[in-house]
């Protein structure tokens, strides 16, 4: 018998029929003798609908009242799911975040969980009930309702699993696991059986939007094994999904686990910057002061006393960054600013890279063979990223996917 926390996202509970399907899955799971805590999101579209109501009154809604409003979405689903479970003869009880004492800080709309008092959950579990908890919400120390940021139900589930020392936290969603890359770009993408927390963080932050990044960080910190599964599979189908955990000793390490990409970046270059101490700070200082986050940075070797300085920002900040740089260019006596928002970042991710040299050159060769020009490169221990022209996204991802043999399963050597 195991204690499992299951989380069902908005599409999984998007209609009464789907809620009843979820109840069937939970009932089947409970029938195997497991204790189950279920965390649910609002029905799909509901959080957006509530947001629209708020912004129709206040374009910048009052953040405390917004949390009171948004948290109602999840309160609807917990009640409906508990009813659906009871209809199937399964003892169940629903709780809001506040009722199970999910204490957060007071940062409305993006609160962080501080503590969970698991007593009420444990009591209900001891009474053999399925515990249904509203995701995405908590209360601050004064009892105000808070929410955890979009997609926050994942974090609720992981936090509950950590507090209860659950055996596993299962995230049921509309895909059946984490893939080597986005199957819409490369139809030969393969579902991974396992991936490490570190790799998943790189994949998630690079645009594979399967899980909320904070939830993965949280799971890594508290060592909660996370499993991503499809909620649409038939109850009878045995699924394994993708397990996200630490590198186990017996875990055969693939060199490359996946290819992530990010279409949300833009590139800016200050050309002809005088090459003397302090210029990097003089350029990025004002950018940071404007609250613009910088991702990759390159400074060329100086020649003739001047150099070029290139970096990437989120596309939403592109215009603002350009304005800041026009001023910086004047102040520094640099030549000019050039800007390009028709770029993408493609990244190879894999913990196996740590112990293998030559991955980068293999990557560059594959891209060169396709005639893809690399504009920027950055590396870390478990990732190599390149910036290329937007039109090469599909070609680049597919070439790397087949070049590194990602469509084949790795052979497990005993």
Report d(CA 163, CA 111) in Å as an integer.
18
Closer CB to Mg ion, 97 or 151, in the complex = 151
Report d(CA 377, CA 388) in Å as an integer.
9
Window of 8-16, 26-34, 47-55, 270-278 that interacts with Mg ion by CB under 5 A:
8-16
**30, 151, 241, 350: residue in contact with ligand ASP (rule CB under 6 A):** 151
Q: Does 153 bind ligand ASP (CB under 6 A)?
A: yes
Q: Does 150 bind ligand ASP (CB under 6 A)?
A: yes
Closer CB to ligand ASP, 10 or 30, in the complex = 10
Report d(CA 138, CA 144) in Å as an integer.
8
Q: Concatenate the DSSP letters of all residues of 85-151 into one string.
A: HHHTT--EEEE-TTTTTEEE-S-TTS--EEEE-THHHHHHHHTTPEEEEETTEEE-TT--EEE--TT
**5, 6, 8, 9: residue in contact with Mg ion (rule CB under 5 A):** 9
The secondary structure of 393-414, three-state, reads HHHHHHHHHHHCCCCCCCCCCC
Q: Does 41 bind ligand ASP (CB under 6 A)?
A: yes
Closer CB to Mg ion, 151 or 352, in the complex = 151
- How many residues touch ligand ASP under the rule CB under 6 A: the total is 12
The option from Mg ion, ligand ASP, none interacting with 150 (CB < 5 to 8 A, set by class) reads ligand ASP
**8, 29, 95, 136: residue in contact with ligand ASP (rule CB under 6 A):** 136
Q: Is 312 exposed, middle or buried (0-12, 13-18, 19+ CB in 10 A)?
A: buried
Closer CB to ligand ASP, 148 or 178, in the complex = 148
Q: Does 135 bind Mg ion (CB under 5 A)?
A: no
* Contact assessment for residue 154 and residue 215, using Cβ atoms and an 8 Å cutoff: yes
Q: Does 242 bind ligand ASP (CB under 6 A)?
A: no
Which single residue brings its beta carbon nearest to Mg ion?
A: 9
Least CB distance from residue 158 to ligand ASP, whole Å? Answer: 12
Strand partners, 3: 35
Window of 40-48, 82-90, 98-106, 117-125 that interacts with ligand ASP by CB under 6 A:
40-48
Backbone angles phi, psi at 171, to 5 degrees: -105, 110
Q: Does 130 bind ligand ASP (CB under 6 A)?
A: no
Q: Which of 198, 199, 204, 197 is nearest to 182 (CA)?
A: 204
Question: Which residues inside 344-383 make contact with ligand ASP, applying CB under 6 A?
Answer: none
Window of 57-65, 82-90, 151-159, 184-192 that interacts with ligand ASP by CB under 6 A:
151-159
Least CB distance from residue 195 to ligand ASP, whole Å? Answer: 21
Closer CB to ligand ASP, 39 or 283, in the complex = 39
Q: Concatenate the DSSP letters of all residues of 184-230 into one string.
A: TT-TT--B-SEEEHHHHHHHHHTT-TTS-HHHHHHHHHTT--EEEEE
Report d(CA 408, CA 406) in Å as an integer.
5
The secondary structure of 273-312, three-state, reads EECCCCHHHHHHHHHHHCCCCEEEEEECCCECCEEEEEEE
Least CB distance from residue 262 to ligand ASP, whole Å? Answer: 20
Q: Does 14 bind ligand ASP (CB under 6 A)?
A: no
* Contact assessment for residue 67 and residue 60, using Cβ atoms and an 8 Å cutoff: no
As a residue count, the chain comes to 414
Q: Does 73 bind Mg ion (CB under 5 A)?
A: no
Least CB distance from residue 313 to ligand ASP, whole Å? Answer: 25
Q: Does 138 bind ligand ASP (CB under 6 A)?
A: no
Q: How many CB atoms lie within 10 A of CB 398?
A: 18
Q: Which residues bind ligand ASP (CB under 6 A)?
A: 9-10, 41-42, 47, 73, 135-136, 150-153
Residues that bind Mg ion (CB under 5 A): 9, 151
């Amino acid at each position: 018998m195991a204690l499992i926390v299951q989380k069902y996202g908005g599409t999984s509970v998007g209609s009464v029929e789907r809620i009843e399907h979820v109840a069937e899955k939970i009932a089947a799971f409970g029938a195997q003798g497991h204790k189950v805590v279920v965390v649910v999101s609002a029905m799909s579209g509901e959080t957006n609908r509530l947001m629209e109501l708020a912004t129709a009154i206040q374009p910048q809604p009052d953040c405390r009242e917004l949390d009171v409003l948004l948290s109602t979405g999840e309160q609807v689903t917990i009640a409906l799911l508990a009813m659906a479970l009871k209809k199937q003869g399964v003892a169940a009880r629903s709780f809001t975040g506040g009722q199970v004492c999910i204490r957060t800080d007071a940062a409305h709309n993006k609160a962080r969980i501080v503590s969970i008092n698991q007593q009420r959950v444990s009591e209900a579990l001891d009474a053999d009930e399925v515990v249904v908890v509203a995701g995405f919400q908590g209360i601050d120390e004064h009892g105000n309702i808070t929410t955890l940021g979009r997609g926050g139900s994942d974090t609720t589930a992981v936090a509950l699993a950590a507090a209860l020392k659950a055996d596993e936290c299962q995230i049921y969603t509309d895909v059946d696991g984490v893939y080597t890359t986005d199957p819409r770009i490369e139809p030969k993408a393969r579902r991974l059986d396992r991936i490490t927390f570190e790799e998943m963080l790189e994949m998630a932050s690079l645009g594979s939007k399967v899980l909320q990044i904070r939830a993965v960080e949280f799971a890594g910190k508290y060592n909660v094994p996370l499993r991503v599964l499809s909620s649409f599979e038939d109850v009878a189908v045995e699924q394994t999904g993708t397990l996200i955990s630490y590198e186990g000793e017996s875990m055969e390490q693939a060199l490359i686990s996946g290819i992530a990409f990010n279409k949300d970046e833009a590139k800016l270059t200050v050309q002809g910057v005088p090459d003397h101490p302090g210029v990097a700070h003089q350029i990025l200082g004002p950018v940071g002061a404007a609250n613009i986050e910088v991702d990759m940075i390159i400074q060329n070797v100086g020649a003739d006393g001047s150099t070029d300085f290139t970096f990437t920002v989120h596309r939403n900040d592109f215009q603002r960054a350009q304005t800041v740089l026009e001023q910086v260019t004047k102040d520094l006596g640099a030549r000019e600013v050039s800007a390009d928002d028709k770029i993408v970042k493609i990244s190879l991710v894999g913990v196996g890279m740590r112990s293998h040299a030559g991955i980068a050159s293999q990557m560059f060769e594959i891209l060169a063979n396709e005639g893809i020009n690399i504009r920027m490169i950055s590396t870390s221990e478990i990732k190599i990223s390149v910036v290329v022209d937007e039109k090469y996204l599909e070609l680049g991802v597919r070439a790397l996917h087949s070049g590194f043999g990602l469509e084949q399963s790795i052979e497990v050597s005993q």
